[in-house]
């Protein structure tokens, strides 16, 4: 079975299980989505949502966060991992958005990736979930699943992104990356499936007997 056939199987199974998909991070606008994605690094979406539900009703613009100041932002997000580093990024990018973009989040990869704390994956999430532009955000979890399912042999997320964009139609990217995340959490967990028990793994590799070791990015 070649990778194109496996890609069709993955898409068919995911569309059947998740015909409709919700964005896991709660946000009020594109700016709060950006903040939530920053906060989600090394942290669960559930934890981020639990923290931001007490923040976004009152603070939801770059101007609000500039006025808060770094120390107050720290206190608001202290239940989240590496909160000091994240509060610095949020404060600094808020200042840039106010000064350079009149409080608006820029709608391009190039401009987003120049903001403090914003890498390609974060920019991809904002472009896809915030602005609706085709993007395929790749994190370590999607990287692991793509390897298990035989969709990439890439040793890093950069190569995995290229491979998945090549295998799947652009119209599916935004929905598909979320479907993969949900499926991985529910059926193809890192320490449960091991590449030999879930429906996608067993359909793509019916003869696989041993747990697959993924190449870490």
Q: What pLDDT score was predicted for residue 217?
A: 66
Q: 103 with 141, same domain?
A: no
Q: 111 with 171, same domain?
A: no
Q: 172 with 80, same domain?
A: no
Report the alpha-carbon distance of residue 157 to residue 217 in Å, rounded.
6
Q: 118 with 37, same domain?
A: yes
pTM above 0.75, yes or no: yes
Q: 17 with 37, same domain?
A: no
Report the alpha-carbon distance of residue 177 to residue 124 in Å, rounded.
11
CATH code: domain of residue 99:
1.10.340.30
CATH code: domain of residue 179:
1.10.1670.10
Residue 90 domain boundaries:
30-130
The number of domains in the chain is 2
Report the alpha-carbon distance of residue 135 to residue 12 in Å, rounded.
20
Q: What pLDDT score was predicted for residue 155?
A: 85
DSSP-derived 3-state class of residue 163: helix
Asked whether residue 216 is domain-assigned, the answer is no
DSSP-derived 3-state class of residue 37: helix
Q: Are 112 and 131 in contact (CB under 8 A)?
A: no
Q: What pLDDT score was predicted for residue 124?
A: 97
Q: Render pLDDT for 10-35 as a digit per residue (tens, 0 to 9).
A: 999 999 999 999 999 999 999 999 99
- % of the chain with per-residue pLDDT over 90: 89
Q: What pLDDT score was predicted for residue 154?
A: 84
Last residue of a domain, one of 130, 145, 173: 130
Q: 35 with 122, same domain?
A: yes
Q: 118 with 152, same domain?
A: no
Q: 121 with 141, same domain?
A: no
**Tokens representing 123?**
């920019």
Q: What pLDDT score was predicted for residue 62?
A: 98
Residue-by-residue pLDDT tens, the chain, 217 positions: 899 999 999 999 999 999 999 999 999 999 999 999 999 988 999 999 999 999 999 999 999 999 999 999 999 999 998 999 999 999 999 999 999 999 999 999 999 999 999 999 999 999 999 999 999 999 889 999 999 999 998 889 999 999 999 999 999 999 999 999 999 999 999 889 999 999 999 999 999 999 988 777 6
């Amino acid at each position: 079975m070649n990778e194109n056939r496996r890609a069709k199987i993955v898409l068919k199974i995911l569309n059947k299980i998740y015909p409709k998909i919700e964005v896991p991070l709660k946000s009020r606008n594109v700016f709060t989505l950006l903040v939530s994605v920053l906060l989600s690094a090394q942290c669960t979406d559930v934890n981020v949502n639990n923290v931001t539900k007490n923040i976004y009703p009152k603070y939801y613009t770059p101007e609000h966060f500039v006025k808060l100041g770094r120390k107050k932002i720290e206190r608001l997000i202290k239940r989240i991992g590496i909160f000091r580093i994240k509060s610095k990024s949020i404060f600094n990018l808020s200042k840039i958005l106010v000064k350079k973009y009149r409080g608006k989040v820029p709608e391009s990869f190039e401009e987003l990736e120049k903001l403090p704390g914003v890498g390609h994956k974060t920019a991809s999430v904002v472009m896809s979930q915030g602005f609706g532009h085709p993007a395929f955000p790749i994190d370590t979890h999607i990287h692991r699943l793509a390897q298990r399912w035989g969709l990439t042999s890439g040793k890093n997320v950069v190569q995995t992104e290229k491979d998945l964009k090549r295998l799947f139609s652009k119209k599916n990217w935004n929905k598909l990356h979320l479907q993969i995340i949900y499926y991985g959490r529910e059926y193809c967990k890192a320490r449960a499936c091991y590449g030999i028990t879930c429906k996608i793994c067993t359909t793509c590799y019916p003869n696989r007997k041993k747990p697959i070791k993924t190449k870490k990015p």
